[in-house]
């Protein structure tokens, strides 16, 4: 089993698994062709000190006499001096094998090597298996067996399993993970990134044969010849070995990525579909089953099946997709139904499916999946013939960051409303939803707009907030309600339009009012409303009566308020509750936003590793599509860029955010973007100081009508010098000078709120010389890495010092630390 291992991946997870089985008498390695069974066994056996003997079987060994000769030859390698075994295979005239008794009589108990039997699946003769069982029972127990096969262990090994003597390596253990793929490519002189390796792992299912083919492709070998080679391998090594019924079954459901027994019965007419799927999963490792009982074929094997399906002609694929579409539609699996009908060009089926999607009461849409289905199945021509589809097109354009398309589709929906209403009476909730979504319609007039088109406002179903975490800047920016008397404005809106959100109105009303108070810096009032929202979400409704996103908005507001009030232990407790929501309710976007919040907090606390982790996980680019439902995470991306000194990338992204925010009339997004732009230009040095001040002026001018102050305090230590620069020169004619002065006064008072203990702190807390140096550099705006470089110490040492400094100062992040150091006069000590 010798092979050159310098170009092989180290396969550490598989080696660790094999090492854990060294006490087993049989190590059974089972997987389909091309999974690298023999290679993995070879790599592992190289490190085993025992003597080894290899038997590689073929179809001609599937009878006792031939098998016995092969076993004798292998055992003689382990015990060359044993003449009886070396000459061992003797047969009588009637062909009865006497080999087994001879081996058992002459095998020496002290010979404790490893017997390796490859291609064990070639044995099917019951007599051959009886021989193997007899040898297993009779040979010395100190001998270890490594058996490599494409099929499951035979029945005679059940007793060994029960005695704990059998350990298995399956296809799941043999699949390459992302890091193994990167290592394998690197060993062969090809560098690929982690995202590229992860994509390849998904594409190949970790199949060694597929990864090897990808490596050759990366080395500029022709792709088409490789694919032909790969498909030929699958055909000869897998496909040709399947029985006719299984091949027919697979071909007749090849068009579907996800399979269930009932779907397969509908598509193939085979009453044994469940058993076949289980066999493909359990014995052949050609499919996987998830916790919900859905099966998925191996990606490369399914590619092979689709190629075979093409040879059947287009009518077979159309038949399959139509059947699957009908089956999914009958069970309310609208996304899959739409994909199937679109795949076979059945436009009537697509329309019928979207009737179900649009007019079916749903507690929650899968935003990203629905957007993908709309993009792949709907077009304007289909909507012209079926105007109710403009609702879906407008919604998709909104969440995908295409405001001009959104407004065009909204207008077409309004124009076609009489026709839509005539065909689908009493379905005005979609008109109600679009009226709330339309940034051109004042919030307090949304219900009136519905009535102006001859309909009565109805309760909106589906995702209300697009899973954005703060309700007051979710599907709409509610800043217009912050102008003047906030309580009165919100009360009027709640009475007129908010009931369209259904039974959760009271929760969202508290989230809305609390969010606006939070932005205005009225934190006590914000806390009262946030606590009320959380209480109502938890007490008024049971888990099944209120959407996860309503709970999410209430908890996220509470976390933000606690953090703004420097109640960090309370904020952390709420964060733990937030972490549990996406996992329990399987919501990807909630998980994304929780992750964004947690990374944002860590970045604010000066943890550069959080910035690196965030960007690596999101694979972020300043040029990517600005998906509105991920808007909250965009600011985490910007902060990550800034933390890692990628200021130009942050500026590019922020300018795009500003443009989009203006088109959507999202004032808070625009204000925050300008604040961050001011910070970015401030970091670029004196040459850009004027540009920094200009962007800060824009932010202040936008915030003034709403009296938003809290958003400036998030960046207090960074903005304070710029604010003083602005106040030192005459305010421009149209600039809200009074609000600017108010901001400066409040910024100066922040330190007093952070450090209420005053001089007592200086008298009772001391700092080491190195902690003083770290504080000085921290106040200069240096990052962890820059501090480590300046002081000649490790990054981890800097982190430890800063954690102790935060603890002594009783603060939780860099901004608060800098403010408190200045307020307490500690700069004298660290100068």
Answer left, alpha or beta for residue 285, where phi above 0 means left and psi between -120 and 50 means alpha: left
First to last CA, the chain: 68
* d(C-alpha 76, C-alpha 84), whole Å: 9
Q: In this structure, how many other beta carbons lie within 10 angstroms of the beta carbon of residue 733?
A: 6
Q: Is 657 exposed, middle or buried (0-12, 13-18, 19+ CB in 10 A)?
A: buried
For residue 639 the two structure tokens come to: 């902060």
Q: In this structure, how many other beta carbons lie within 10 angstroms of the beta carbon of residue 314?
A: 11
- Name beta bridge partners: 27: 146, 167
Helix/strand/coil (H, E, C) string of 35-74?
Answer: CCHHHHHHHHHHCCCCCEEEEECCHHHCCHHHHHHHHHHH
* d(C-alpha 482, C-alpha 492), whole Å: 12
Q: In this structure, how many other beta carbons lie within 10 angstroms of the beta carbon of residue 427?
A: 16
Q: Is 678 exposed, middle or buried (0-12, 13-18, 19+ CB in 10 A)?
A: buried
Q: Does residue 155 or residue 7 have the better pLDDT?
A: 155
For residue 211 the two structure tokens come to: 């990864």
What's the mean pLDDT in 154-179?
88
pLDDT of residue 93: 34
DSSP states along 321-354: HHHHHHHHHHTT-HHHHHHHHHHTT-HHHHHHHH
pLDDT above 80 for 648: yes
**CB contact set of 361 (below 8 Å; sequence gap of 6+):** 461
Q: Is 569 exposed, middle or buried (0-12, 13-18, 19+ CB in 10 A)?
A: exposed
Where b means 16+ CB within 10 Å and e means fewer, 784-818 reads beebbeebebeeeebbebbeebbebbbbbbbbbbb
Residue 487 phi, psi dihedral angles, 5° rounding:
-60, -45
User: Does the model's pTM come out above 0.75?
Assistant: no
Largest CA distance in the chain: 116
* d(C-alpha 265, C-alpha 272), whole Å: 8
pLDDT of residue 813: 72
pLDDT of residue 667: 95
Proportion of the chain above pLDDT 70, given as a percent: 84
Answer left, alpha or beta for residue 90, where phi above 0 means left and psi between -120 and 50 means alpha: beta
* d(C-alpha 821, C-alpha 744), whole Å: 19
Under the banding of pLDDT at 50, 70 and 90, the label for residue 215 is confident
CA–CA distance from 798 to each of 54, 347, 608, 778, 812 (Å)? Answer: 56, 62, 12, 10, 16
pLDDT above 70 for 575: yes
Under the banding of pLDDT at 50, 70 and 90, the label for residue 604 is confident
Note the pLDDT tens digit of each residue in 284-310.
678 888 777 889 888 778 888 888 888
* d(C-alpha 310, C-alpha 764), whole Å: 80
Under the banding of pLDDT at 50, 70 and 90, the label for residue 788 is confident
Chain centre distance of CA 63: 52
* d(C-alpha 535, C-alpha 569), whole Å: 19
pLDDT above 60 for 539: no
Strand 295-297 and strand 287-289: pairing? antiparallel
* d(C-alpha 619, C-alpha 597), whole Å: 17
Task: Let me know: does 116 contact 52? Beta carbons within 8 Å.
Answer: yes
Task: Let me know: does 802 contact 784? Beta carbons within 8 Å.
Answer: yes
Task: Let me know: does 75 contact 112? Beta carbons within 8 Å.
Answer: no
- pLDDT averaged over the chain? 81
* d(C-alpha 762, C-alpha 760), whole Å: 6
Q: Does residue 728 or residue 517 have the better pLDDT?
A: 517
CA–CA distance from 86 to each of 111, 115, 140 (Å)? Answer: 15, 15, 17
Q: Which of 512, 483, 479 is nearest to 495 (CA)?
A: 512
Q: How crowded is the C-beta side of 473, counted as CA atoms within 13 Å?
A: 23
Under the banding of pLDDT at 50, 70 and 90, the label for residue 26 is very high
Residue 175 phi, psi dihedral angles, 5° rounding:
-65, 135
Under the banding of pLDDT at 50, 70 and 90, the label for residue 221 is very low
Under the banding of pLDDT at 50, 70 and 90, the label for residue 764 is very low
Q: In this structure, how many other beta carbons lie within 10 angstroms of the beta carbon of residue 522?
A: 18
Proportion of the chain above pLDDT 90, given as a percent: 24
What's the mean pLDDT in 142-157?
89
Q: Which of 611, 659, 663 is nearest to 635 (CA)?
A: 611
* d(C-alpha 306, C-alpha 312), whole Å: 10
* d(C-alpha 800, C-alpha 773), whole Å: 14
Helix/strand/coil (H, E, C) string of 620-688?
Answer: CCCCCCCCHHHHHHHHHHHHHHHHCCCHHHHHHHHHHHHHHHHHHCCHHHHHHHHHHHHHHHHHCCHHH
What's the mean pLDDT in 621-632?
77
* d(C-alpha 41, C-alpha 107), whole Å: 25
Residue 123 phi, psi dihedral angles, 5° rounding:
-85, 120
Task: Let me know: does 817 contact 778? Beta carbons within 8 Å.
Answer: yes
pLDDT of residue 570: 87
Task: Let me know: does 532 contact 507? Beta carbons within 8 Å.
Answer: no
Q: Does residue 617 or residue 699 have the better pLDDT?
A: 699
DSSP states along 575-592: HHHHHHHHHHHT-HHHHH
DSSP 546: S
**H/E element, 116:** strand 114-118
Under the banding of pLDDT at 50, 70 and 90, the label for residue 758 is very low
Note the pLDDT tens digit of each residue in 271-287.
999 999 988 887 667 88
> Radius of gyration over alpha carbons of the chain, in Å?
34
* d(C-alpha 828, C-alpha 379), whole Å: 67
Under the banding of pLDDT at 50, 70 and 90, the label for residue 1 is very low
Q: Does residue 657 or residue 172 have the better pLDDT?
A: 657
Residue 149 phi, psi dihedral angles, 5° rounding:
-150, 160
């Amino acid at each position: 089993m010798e092979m050159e291992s310098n170009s092989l991946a180290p396969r550490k997870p598989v080696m660790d698994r094999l090492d854990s089985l060294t006490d087993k008498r049989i190590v059974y390695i089972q997987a389909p062709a091309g999974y690298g069974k023999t290679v993995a066994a070879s790599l592992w056996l190289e490190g085993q000190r025992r003597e080894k003997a290899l038997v590689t079987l073929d179809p001609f060994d599937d009878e006792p006499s031939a098998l016995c000769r092969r076993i004798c030859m292998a055992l003689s390698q382990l015990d060359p001096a044993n003449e009886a075994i070396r000459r061992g295979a003797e047969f009588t005239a009637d062909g009865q094998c006497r080999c087994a008794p001879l081996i058992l009589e002459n095998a020496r108990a002290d010979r404790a090597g490893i017997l390796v039997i490859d291609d064990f699946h070639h044995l099917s003769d019951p007599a051959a298996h009886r021989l193997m069982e007899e040898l297993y029972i009779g040979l010395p127990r100190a001998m270890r067996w490594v058996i490599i096969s494409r099929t499951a262990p035979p029945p005679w090994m059940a007793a060994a399993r029960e005695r704990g003597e059998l350990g298995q390596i399956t296809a799941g253990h043999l699949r390459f993970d992302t890091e193994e793929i990167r290592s394998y490519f690197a060993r062969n002189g090809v560098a690929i990134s982690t995202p590229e390796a992860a994509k390849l792992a998904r594409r190949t299912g970790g199949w060694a044969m597929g990864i090897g083919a990808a490596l050759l492709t990366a080395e500029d070998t022709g792709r088409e010849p490789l694919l032909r080679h790969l498909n030929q391998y699958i055909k000869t090594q897998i496909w040709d070995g399947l029985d006719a019924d299984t091949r027919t079954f697979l071909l007749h459901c090849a068009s579907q990525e996800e399979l269930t027994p009932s779907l397969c019965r509908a598509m193939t007419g085979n009453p044994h579909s469940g058993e076949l799927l289980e066999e493909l999963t359990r014995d052949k490792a050609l499919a996987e089953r998830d916790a919900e009982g859905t099966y998925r074929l191996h990606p490369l094997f399914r590619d092979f099946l689709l190629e075979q399906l093409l040879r059947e002609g287009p009518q077979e694929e159309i038949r399959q997709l139509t059947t699957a579409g009908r089956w999914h539609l009958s069970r309310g699996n609208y996304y899959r139904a739409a994909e199937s009908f679109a795949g076979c060009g059945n436009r009537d089926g697509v329309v019928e499916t979207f009737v179900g999607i649009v007019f079916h009461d749903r507690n929650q849409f899968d935003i990203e999946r629905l957007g993908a289905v709309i993009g792949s199945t709907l077009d304007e021509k289909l909507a012209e013939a079926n105007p109710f589809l403009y609702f879906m097109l407008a919604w998709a354009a909104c969440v995908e960051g295409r405001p001009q398309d959104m407004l065009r589709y909204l207008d077409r929906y309004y124009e076609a409303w009489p026709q839509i209403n005539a065909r689908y009476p009493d379905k005005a909730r979609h008109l109600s939803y679009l009226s709330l979504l339309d940034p051109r319609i004042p919030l307090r007039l949304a219900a009136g707009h519905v009535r102006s088109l001859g309909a009565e406002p109805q309760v909106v179903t589906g995702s209300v907030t697009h899973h954005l975490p703060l309700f007051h800047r979710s599907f709409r920016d509610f800043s217009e309600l912050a102008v003047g008397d906030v309580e009165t404005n919100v009360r009027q809106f709640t009475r007129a339009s908010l009931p369209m959100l259904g039974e959760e109105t009271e929760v969202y009303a508290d989230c809305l009012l609390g969010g606006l108070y939070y932005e205005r810096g009225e934190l006590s009032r914000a806390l009262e409303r946030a606590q009320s929202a959380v209480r109502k979400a938890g007490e008024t409704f049971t888990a099944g009566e209120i959407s996860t996103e309503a709970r999410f908005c209430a908890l996220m507001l509470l976390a933000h308020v606690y953090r703004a009030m420097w109640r960090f232990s309370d904020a952390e407790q709420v964060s733990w509750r937030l972490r549990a929501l996406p996992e329990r309710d399987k919501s990807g976007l909630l998980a994304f936003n929780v992750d964004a919040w947690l990374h944002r907090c860590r970045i604010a606390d000066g943890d550069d590793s959080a910035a690196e982790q965030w960007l690596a996980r999101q694979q972020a680019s300043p040029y990517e599509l600005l998906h509105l439902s991920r808007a909250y995470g965009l600011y985490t991306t910007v902060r990550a860029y800034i933390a890692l000194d990628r200021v130009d990338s942050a500026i590019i992204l922020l300018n795009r955010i500003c443009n989009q925010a203006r088109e959507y009339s999202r004032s808070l997004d625009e204000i925050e973007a300008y604040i961050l732009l001011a910070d970015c230009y401030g970091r670029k040095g004196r040459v850009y100081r004027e540009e920094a001040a200009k962007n800060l002026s824009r932010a202040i001018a936008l915030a003034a009508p709403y009296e938003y102050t809290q958003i400036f305090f998030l960046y207090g230590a960074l903005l304070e010098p710029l604010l003083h620069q602005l106040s030192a020169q005459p305010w421009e004619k149209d600039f809200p000078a009074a609000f600017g002065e108010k901001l400066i006064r409040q910024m100066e008072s922040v330190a007093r709120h952070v450090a209420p203990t005053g001089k007592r702190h200086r008298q009772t807390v001391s700092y080491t010389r190195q902690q003083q140096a770290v504080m000085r550099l921290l106040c200069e705006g240096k990052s962890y890495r820059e501090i480590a470089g300046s002081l000649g110490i490790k990054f981890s040492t800097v982190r430890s010092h800063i954690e102790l400094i935060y603890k002594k100062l009783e603060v939780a992040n860099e901004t608060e630390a800098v403010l408190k150091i200045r307020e307490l006069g500690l700069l004298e000590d660290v100068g």
